[in-house]
Amino acid sequence: MSSKRKITVAYGDGIGPEIMKATLAILEAAGAQLEYDVIEIGEKVYLKGISSGMEPRAIESLRETKVFLKSPITTPQGGGFKSLNVTTRKSFGLYANVRPCKAYSPFVKTHFPKTDLVIIRENEEDLYAGIEHRQTQEVYQTLKLISEPGSEKIIRYAFEYAKKYGRKKVTCMTKDNIMKLADGHFHKKFDEVAKEYPEIQTDHKIIDIGTALIAERPEIFDVIVTLNLYGDIISDVAAQVTGSVGLGGSANVGEEVAMFEAIHGSAPDIAGKDMANPSGLLNGAIMMLVHIGQPDIAEKVANAWMKTLEDGIHTGDIYQEGLSSKKVGTQEFAQAIIDRLGQEPAKMSPVTFSKEDTEPMNIKLTPKTKAKKELTGVDVFIDWDEEGRDPNVIGDRLRQANANGLQLHLITNRGVKVFPEGLKETFCTDHWRCRFKTADGSPISHWDVLDLLRQIKDMGFDFIKTEHLYTFDGVRGYSLAQGE
């Protein structure tokens, strides 16, 4: 029986085949015990009419090997094509995206030579749920979904990662000054979990200033945990300020399956020119080797790669006149790394991995008790574009509706209160949120909501969406409108 570890490999599109060839050559020369199941994904699969970019055989391969080394792909222009990365992450539960961002100064140019941070990004939820609707002539909607277990899983992963790798601090980044429920929940969960790790320092940054600080002083961060969209943005910022997006590797980890890749795209403009830097995919492969229990090979490859950088053997994207000794192409760069296998960098700190690094992290969620959930009102969204869009007109008409005490409370337009007592200067679209509640805040039934919608329809209004207003153990589960 073979002792080799079988993994799924995809050569991808654009520069993908070149950098995968280079990466696999290095791994094989280093003695990695690997067997490959090569699958086709990306542009060719999309153009066959498979909207996910992945054929059923590829899915079966991942289900069998549980380890995926993937080159970048190209998604064809036009609608109807789903992100293969998002599909893979969500379908296989790859909830944690891990992106180390480290400076390799002065061999890779950066203004921040002390940077050594890791961004841990939630990978399955947030706006990447991809639930969108066009609701009126003028307004489009994207739903941001944040779950209790999804938040706790990624936050616990971040703390366990910090503990495992000797990191001192975990920073949470959200926008909870605006999204007080969704991002507010993530921040609250972070504070709760942090109490279980008193040896690790913690802090919180609003994502806008947090991003600015990554761009200006990235060395102040150690481990950052954040939501999906924010993590996607700041990991590219962090990779760029440390030298090059082309160097960044990424791990996408779930309870059973893991995917390893470069963080950059398929760069079709340089495909086939032997110019691409394979370092991003190689760094992803190094993370993969640790994951599958071959830390000695990962260590050998990482140190040979850093020794190559030290010796000034650089691809064009990181070549520096006066510092680099030779500009090379993709395959020559790979050969230079192979030639240095067994060597360590002299000026940069050598990498060390241990068997402990290969142990999976045990992420256990806190048992929950169900809160008492009560329906106390409803937001009815209406498409209305009549009589100069005067909020008083739609408001006065809707005040006639009454379903067992369920009556109009207020109207907002794009989140701004416009009725009653709105400002005449507020610009209004054709998309109106109309909040209905009982006068004393008492619970209502779904039948009351249905009766209300019937009345609204009979008035000639086009209701396009509803959101129920719930309390959980008496705590409001919805945001207040401005002025409410």
Mean pLDDT of the chain: 94
User: Does 387 or 78 have the greater pLDDT score?
Assistant: 387
The pLDDT > 90 percentage for the chain reads: 84
Q: pLDDT tens digits for 117-126?
A: 999 999 999 9
Which tokens is 421 given?
């007592």
Which residues does 410 contact at the CB level (< 8 Å), separation at least 6? Answer: 417, 419, 420, 434, 435, 481, 483, 484
| pLDDT higher than 80, residue 309 | yes
User: Does 45 or 482 have the greater pLDDT score?
Assistant: 45
Q: pLDDT tens digits for 416-453?
A: 999 999 999 999 999 999 999 999 999 999 999 999 99
Give the C-alpha separation, 298 to 304, whole Å.
10
| pLDDT higher than 80, residue 83 | no
Q: Where are the alpha helices (DSSP H) in 350-428?
A: 391-398
| pLDDT higher than 50, residue 240 | yes
Q: At what angle do helices 16-30 and 295-310 cross, to 10 degrees?
A: 110
| pLDDT higher than 60, residue 213 | yes
pLDDT-derived band at 4, boundaries 50, 70, 90: very high
Q: pLDDT tens digits for 36-66?
A: 999 998 888 888 888 888 888 999 999 999 9
Q: Mean pLDDT across the stretch 178-192?
A: 97
Q: Mean pLDDT across the stretch 181-196?
A: 97
- pLDDT value of residue 2: 52
Q: Which amino acid is at 305?
A: W
Q: Mean pLDDT across the stretch 239-255?
A: 90
Give the C-alpha separation, 142 to 128, whole Å.
9
Pairing of strands 431-437, 373-383: antiparallel
Q: pLDDT tens digits for 360-388?
A: 788 889 998 999 999 999 999 999 999 89
Can you tell me which residue has the tokens 């009454």? Answer: 402
Give the C-alpha separation, 86 to 121, whole Å.
13
Compute the residue count for the chain: 484
Instruction: Tell me how crowded residue 78 is: count the other CB atoms within 10 A of its CB.
Output: 7
- pLDDT value of residue 21: 98
| pLDDT higher than 90, residue 115 | yes
The answer to whether 282 and 304 are in contact (CB under 8 A) is no
Can you tell me which residue has the tokens 């401005």? Answer: 482
- pLDDT value of residue 1: 38
The answer to whether 145 and 155 are in contact (CB under 8 A) is no
The answer to whether 229 and 241 are in contact (CB under 8 A) is no
What would the DSSP string read from start to end of 71-92?
----PPSSSSPPPHHHHHHHHT
Give the C-alpha separation, 133 to 137, whole Å.
11
What would the DSSP string read from start to end of 431-467?
EEEEEEE-TT-----HHHHHHHHHHHHHTT-EEEEEE
H or E element, residue 220: none
Order of strands across the sheet that contains 201-206: 34-39, 5-10, 67-70, 258-262, 249-253, 96-102, 116-122, 223-226, 169-174, 201-206
Cα 288–63–123 angle (5° rounding)?
60
- pLDDT value of residue 185: 97
- pLDDT value of residue 160: 95
- pLDDT value of residue 79: 64
- pLDDT value of residue 80: 66
